[in-house]
Chains A and B, each alone.
Chain A
Amino acid sequence: MRPIRYLELVCPAGTPAALRTAVDAGADTVYCGFRDATNARNYPGLNFDVDDLRAGIAYAHQHGRRVLVAVNTFPRAGETAIWHRAVDNAAACGADAVILADLGVLDYAAREHPTLRRHLSVQAAAANPLAIDFYRAQFGISRVVLPRVLAVAEVAALVARIGVEAEVFAFGSLGTMVEGRCYLSSYITGRSPSSDGVCAPAEHVAYREQDGKLFACLGDTVMNCFGPGEARSYPTPCKGRLVTNGEPSYLFEEPVGLNASAILPQLKDAGVTALKIEGRQRGRAYVGQVVAAFRAILDALADGRPPPPEAAQLHALTEGGQETLSAYRSGWR
Chain B
Amino acid sequence: MSEHPPARLTLGPLMHHWPAERRRDFYFRIADEAPVDSVCLGEVVCSKREPFFAEQMPAVIDRLRAAGKEVVISTLSLITTERELAAIGELAASGLPVEANDVTAIRVLAGRPFIAGPLINLFNEATLDFLVRAGAVRVNMPVELSLPSIGVLAAHNPTGQTEMAVFGRQGLALSMRCYHARAYGLHKDSCQYVCERDPDGLPADQLDGRGLLAVNGTQTLSHGYLVALAELDALRRLGVSHFRLAPQAGVTAEGLDMVRVAALYRQVLDGAADPAAAEAALLAMLGPVAPINGFLHGREGMAWVPAGTMH
List the interface of chain A (C-beta within 8 A of B).
Answer: 74-80, 101-105, 107-108, 124-131, 133-135, 137, 149-150, 154, 176-178, 180-184, 186-190, 192, 194-195, 215, 219, 221-225, 238, 241-245, 248-249, 251-253, 327, 331-333
Contact = CB atoms under 8 A, between A and B. Distances in A.
Contacts of A253: 177
A43 B102 CA distance: 29
Given A74-B121, A128-B80, A181-B121, A108 B177 contact: no
Interface in B50-108: 77-80, 84-85, 88, 102-104, 106-108
Nearest to B149: A77
Contact of A131 (B102, B126, B145): B102
B125 A222 contact: no
Contact of A178 (B143, B174, B298, B300): B174
B103 A134 contact: yes
A183 B173 contact: yes
Given A186-B301, A242-B213, A244-B204, A76 B123 contact: yes
Given A102-B124, A243-B205, 17 more contacts: A77-B153, A127-B79, A178-B175, A181-B174, A184-B220, A186-B300, A188-B300, A190-B298, A190-B303, A221-B302, A224-B207, A238-B173, A243-B209, A244-B203, A245-B183, A245-B202, A252-B179
A187 B204 contact: no
A10 B13 CA distance: 40
Given A134-B106, A244-B215, A333-B188, A128 B79 contact: yes
Interface residues of B, number: 71
A150 B80 contact: yes
A276 B16 CA distance: 36
Contacts of A101: 121
Interface stretch (B127-135, B227-235, B245-253, B256-264): B127-135
Given A80-B124, A244-B183, A181 B206 contact: no
25 contacts: A74-B127, A77-B123, A77-B150, A78-B148, A78-B149, A79-B124, A80-B125, A103-B103, A104-B130, A134-B104, A134-B107, A137-B107, A149-B175, A178-B78, A181-B173, A183-B170, A184-B220, A187-B170, A187-B295, A187-B301, A244-B205, A252-B175, A252-B220, A327-B177, A333-B177
Nearest to A73: B123
Contact of B204 (A79, A102, A178, A242): A242
B302 to A, nearest CB: 5
A127 B174 CA distance: 13
Contacts of B222: 187
B97 to A, nearest CB: 20
5 nearest CB pairs, A to B: A104-B126, A187-B301, A134-B107, A333-B188, A77-B152
B208 interface: yes
Nearest to B300: A190
Given A177-B174, A252-B177, A128 B300 contact: no
B294 interface: yes
Interface in B6-47: none
A107 B103 CA distance: 14
B177 A77 contact: no
Interface in B252-275: none
A222 B212 CA distance: 9
Contacts of B79: 127-128, 130-131
Contacts of A244: 183, 202-205, 215
Nearest to B171: A183
A190 B294 CA distance: 8
A123 to B, nearest CB: 8
B187 A189 contact: no
Contact of A154 (B80, B127, B187, B204): B80
A134 B80 CA distance: 14
Contacts of B174: 177-178, 181-182
Contacts of B129: 104, 107
B107 A131 contact: yes
A75 to B, nearest CB: 4
B144 A103 contact: no
Interface in B192-250: 202-210, 212-213, 215, 220, 222
Nearest to A210: B208
Contact of B299 (A75, A180, A190, A249): A190
B183 A249 contact: yes
Contacts of B106: 134
Contacts of A79: 124
A138 B173 CA distance: 26
Contact of B130 (A107, A176, A177, A194): A107
B149 A76 contact: yes
B4 interface: no
A175 to B, nearest CB: 9
A107 B189 CA distance: 38
A129 B131 CA distance: 20
B176 A242 contact: no
A77 B124 contact: yes
Contacts of B80: 127-128, 149-150, 154
Given A102-B127, A105-B126, A150-B80, A187 B172 contact: yes
A74 B176 CA distance: 22
A3 B181 CA distance: 46
A327 B176 contact: yes
B115 interface: no
A194 B127 CA distance: 14
Nearest to B189: A333
B152 A78 contact: yes
B164 interface: no
A181 B119 contact: yes
A304 to B, nearest CB: 34
B207 A215 contact: yes
Most buried by A among B106, B124, B215: B124
